[in-house]
């Protein structure tokens, strides 16, 4: 690791109910001796870290370190890739300060201290980035994610949690699951999976680049963030009772054995839905279908 590379430190002080602000002084004290020209950027509002990612690319930064949850690197990476894939060698460090911190679980990094130690040790791993193109209020939008994208049900649950139940913590998410499932699934999805067309009804989808979501939920237990493909997990034709049984098994990964669940590895995917379905990526609400996804193999180096 070259300490003379320009290094940006992006901090979300609001992550994890203020955990980002609490751990920041210690993280900075550990990093500055190695990276003396550390450029600090503080994300105070949604979308601001997108600008920091664009700045890192435009100003020739070789390394960006994020202190926050999954949403902070989601914005930074989307900014980095806004003009196309950045130059090879750009490094991303992740220091968990959010509620879930799902992506880093694939690297057996559970604490911020372990994550900083991995960054300082120069542990590198090439990872895939997934590009999402979707409808945002009638215009085409593009974002890039590392962890997960949900189509329909999971995005609806996230919206309900954020708007009405966030103050309840993990219990709020569980309550949102029950409230959303009471409405059931009523839709028709037309999928194109690496060129193969498939139509399914009353379904929800998750596309995962890594194994975990929502913290410890093992939504895609076989996913590998560096294999050049994403794991599609579909909940097809599932009743309310089916979905409750599926969610009860999701922490162990046993939901994949449920008869209403199937999975497949994909390098590219399109989704058209009637009615259009809400989308979320890495814990952030996006727009709606239609959706196009493609995996960018080994497009980023993660310090983990």
* 86 and 164 inside one domain: no
The CA–CA distances, whole Å, from 25 to 70, 134, 241, 293 equal 20, 38, 47, 38
Domain assignment of residue 271, yes or no: yes
**Does residue 304 have a pLDDT over 80?**
yes
Q: Does 303 reside within a domain?
A: no
Question: For the domain that residue 200 is a member of, what is the CATH number?
Answer: 2.60.200.40
Number of residues that this document lists for the chain = 304
Q: What is the pTM of this model?
A: 0.91
Evaluate whether residue 180 is within a structural domain.
yes
**Orientation of helix 240-248 relative to helix 170-181, angle to 10°:** 160
For residues 147 and 94, state if they share a domain: no
Please indicate, yes or no, whether residues 168 and 65 belong to a single structural domain of this protein: no
Task: Find the mean pLDDT for residues 119-141.
Answer: 95
Give the whole-angstrom CA distance, residue 61 versus residue 283: 26
Structure confidence by residue, pLDDT tens digits, 191-247: 999 999 999 999 999 999 998 887 678 899 999 999 999 999 999 998 888 888 888
Residues 160 and 57 grouped into a single domain: no
pLDDT at 87 over 70: no
User: Using only C-alpha atoms, what is the Rg of the chain?
Assistant: 19
Residues 110 and 208 in one domain: no
- Given 122, 150, 168, the domain boundary residue is 122
What burial class does residue 103 get, using C-beta atoms within 10 Å of its C-beta: 0-12 exposed, 13-18 middle, 19+ buried?
buried
Q: Does the residue 1 lie in any domain?
A: no
- Which of the listed ranges 29-38, 76-85, 237-246, 289-298 does the model predict with the highest average pLDDT? 289-298
Mean pLDDT of the chain: 90
Q: How far is CA 8 from CA 41, 49, 119, 120, 219, in A?
A: 7, 11, 13, 14, 32
Q: Last residue of some domain: 96, 122, 148?
A: 122
Domain that holds residue 281: 131-297
pLDDT of 280 above 80: yes
- Is 182 found in the same domain as 263? yes
Write down the pLDDT at residue 2: 59
Distance CA 245, CA 241 (A): 6
Q: Is residue 11 part of a domain?
A: yes
> Which of 122, 140, 175 is the C-terminal boundary of a domain?
122
Name 128's Cβ contacts closer than 8 Å, sequence gap at least 6: 209, 225, 226, 227, 228, 229, 230, 295, 296, 297, 298, 299
Looking at residue 172, its pLDDT comes to 74
Alpha carbons 240 and 184: distance in angstroms, whole number: 6
Domain annotation covers residue 278: yes
Nearest to 121 by CA among 133, 109, 136: 109
15-31 and 112-120 are packed helices; what angle lies between their axes, rounded to 10 degrees? 30
Query: How many domains does the chain fold into?
Result: 2
Same structural domain, 139 and 277: yes
Q: Is it the case that residue 170 has pLDDT exceeding 70?
A: no
CATH code of the domain in which 31 resides: 3.40.50.10330
| H or E stretch at 158 | helix 153-160
203 and 118 within one domain: no
Residues 69 and 58: their CA atoms lie apart, in Å, by: 24
176 in the same domain as 153: yes
Handedness of CA 124, 128, 134, 140 (dihedral sign): positive
| Residue 2 belongs to a domain | no
Residues 283, 147 within the same domain = yes
Tell me if 302 is assigned to some domain. Answer: no
67 in Cβ contact with 77 (< 8 Å): no
Strand, helix or coil for residue 170: helix
Answer yes or no: do 135 and 118 share one domain.
no
In 3D, which of 73, 78, 67 has the Cα closest to residue 15?
67
- What phi and psi values does residue 136 have, to the nearest 5 degrees? -125, 90
* Same domain? 114 vs 147: no
């Amino acid at each position: 690791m070259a300490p003379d590379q320009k290094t940006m430190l992006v901090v979300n002080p609001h992550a994890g109910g203020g955990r980002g602000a609490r751990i920041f002084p210690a993280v900075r004290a550990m990093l500055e001796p190695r990276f003396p020209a550390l450029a600090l950027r503080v994300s105070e509002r949604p979308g601001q870290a997108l600008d920091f990612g664009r700045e890192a690319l435009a100003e020739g930064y070789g390394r960006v370190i994020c202190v926050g949850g999954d949403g902070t690197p989601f914005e930074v990476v989307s900014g980095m890739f806004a003009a196309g894939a950045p130059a090879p060698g750009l490094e991303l460090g992740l220091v968990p300060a959010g509620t879930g911190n799902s992506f880093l679980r694939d690297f057996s990094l559970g604490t911020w201290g372990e994550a900083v130690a991995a960054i300082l040790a120069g542990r590198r791993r090439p990872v895939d980035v997934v590009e999402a193109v979707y409808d945002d209020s009638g215009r085409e939008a593009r974002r890039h994610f590392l962890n997960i994208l949900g189509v329909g049900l999971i995005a609806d649950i996230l919206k309900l949690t954020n708007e009405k139940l966030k103050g309840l913590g993990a219990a709020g998410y569980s309550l949102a699951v029950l409230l959303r499932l009471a409405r059931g699934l009523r839709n028709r999805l037309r999928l194109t999976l690496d060129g193969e067309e498939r139509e399914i009804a009353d379904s929800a989808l998750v596309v995962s680049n890594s194994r975990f979501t929502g913290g410890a939920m093992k939504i895609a237990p076989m996913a590998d963030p560096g294999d050049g493909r994403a794991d599609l997990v579909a909940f097809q034709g599932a009743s309310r009772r089916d979905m409750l049984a599926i969610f009860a098994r999701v922490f162990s990964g046993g939901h994949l054995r449920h008869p209403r669940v199937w999975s497949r590895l994909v390098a590219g995917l399109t989704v058209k839905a009637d009615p259009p379905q809400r989308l979320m990526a890495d814990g952030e609400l996006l727009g709606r279908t239609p959706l196009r996804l493609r995996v960018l193999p080994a497009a980023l180096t993660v310090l983990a």
